[in-house]
Amino acid sequence: MKSLDVVTFGETMVLFQPDAQLPLEYVHKFQKQIGGAESNMAIGLQRLGHRVGWFSKLGSDPFGRYVLQTIRGEGVDTSACLFTDEAPTSVFFKEMRSSDAVNVFYYRKNGSASLLKPEDLDEAYISQAKILHLTGITPALSNSCLETVFAAINIAKQHGLKIVFDPNIRMKLWGKEKAKAVLQEIASYADVILPGLDEGKFIIGKTTPEEIASAFIQRGNQTVIIKLGSKGAFYQTAYESGYVEGFKVNHVVDPVGAGDGFAAGIISGILRNESLQETVRKGNAIGAMVVGVNGDMEGLPRMEEVESFMNQTSEKRDVIR
């Protein structure tokens, strides 16, 4: 196969999306979709025109086949995926009482992805890529997943891959002390780190975007981009820093997946050697576009849609001025 721009791995679950904005106990019909931070990012990046590989360990069951078929159908390379009879593919349910009140209920403990182990990694497959994308979700699934993440980091370092780390903290999956220690260690190996403001506060212990970014830079990260929600993002390297304004969203339909779209935009900008300011602006635009669509990955846009959205927004700002 052709070499890949990016490789990522982690748990993708089957999502059951309610057909009504009601407490979950009163919902009777659901739409079947998929959801997973790493596969969301992979699909988003593929739609932006890049070659992406995603892998996991899926259950040998209908849901596992559905996950694989869906991601492969988006053009993402899934040739390194594994199947197991030892555990089922995980599922989760969304509860949408309103666009501002979205709750998620996971049924993922001891799921198939939690059985990933270092021996499952294909060094040749990972080494062909330019970037390894990681999140803080995978190491929280199990001790063997934690070991697998560090084994992947070791492969990436040996073969000169850039590591992009999105902390994506899920406190329901592990204790506070272990989470902080592990996330700090993974962050120390990352070339680019993409925390939200609260995630940065948790990992670093500082308060402002400037303080958090400076602390990461001092620890060896080359680029730090801190997500600030509707306000946009703050970026910093050893040579430059600045705020990039967010895009106005008139109506939020589903906020889940916006951060994964943001990550896809950032990685796309890195691969295209765009300026950091333009890269962050693209990430902000994709995040704003994603929240207007139901589902984790359905709203991830293609490059021409992103460019059109950004140009229209710029034209509106010029008119207002």
> Which domains are seen in the chain, by residue range?
6-11+41-55+117-320 (3.40.1190.20)
**pTM as predicted:** 0.93
Spatial contact of 91 and 84, defined as CB atoms under 8 Å apart: no
Q: Which of 286, 227, 294, 235 is nearest to 258 (CA)?
A: 286
d(CA 227, CA 208): 12
Spatial contact of 171 and 182, defined as CB atoms under 8 Å apart: no
CA distances (Å), origin 102, targets 2, 18, 22, 45: 40, 11, 10, 25
End-to-end Cα distance, the chain: 50
Q: Which of 51, 60, 105 is nearest to 78 (CA)?
A: 51
Stated as kind and residue range, the H or E segment containing 168 is none
d(CA 270, CA 281): 12
d(CA 121, CA 161): 15
| CB neighbour list of residue 23: distance below 8 Å, 6 or more residues apart | 95, 97
CA distances (Å), origin 77, targets 69, 164, 252: 11, 19, 31
DSSP state, residue 230 = G
Per-residue pLDDT at 318: 44
The C-alpha torsion from 247 through 251 and 252 to 258, rounded to 10°, is -30
How many residues are present in the chain?
Answer: 321
- Tens-level pLDDT at each residue, the chain (321 residues): 569 999 999 999 999 999 988 999 999 999 999 999 999 999 999 999 999 999 999 999 999 999 999 999 999 999 999 999 999 999 999 898 876 778 889 999 999 999 999 999 999 999 999 999 999 999 999 999 999 999 999 999 999 999 999 999 988 888 899 999 999 999 999 999 999 999 999 999 999 999 999 999 998 889 999 999 889 999 999 999 999 998 887 766 656 668 899 999 999 999 999 999 999 999 999 998 888 676 667 889 899 999 999 988 665 554 344
What crossing angle do the helices spanning 276-290 and 303-320 adopt, rounded to 10°? 100
Q: Which is the catalytic residue, given 5, 260, 296, 318?
A: 260
Per-residue pLDDT at 294: 65
Q: SS3 for 145? A: helix
Backbone angles phi, psi at 205, to 5 degrees: 90, 5
Per-residue pLDDT at 88: 98
| Per-state percent for the chain, helix, strand, coil, to nearest 5 | 45, 20, 35
- Per the annotation, the verdict on 318 as an active-site residue is no
Per-residue pLDDT at 297: 78
Q: Give me Rg for the CA atoms of the chain.
A: 19
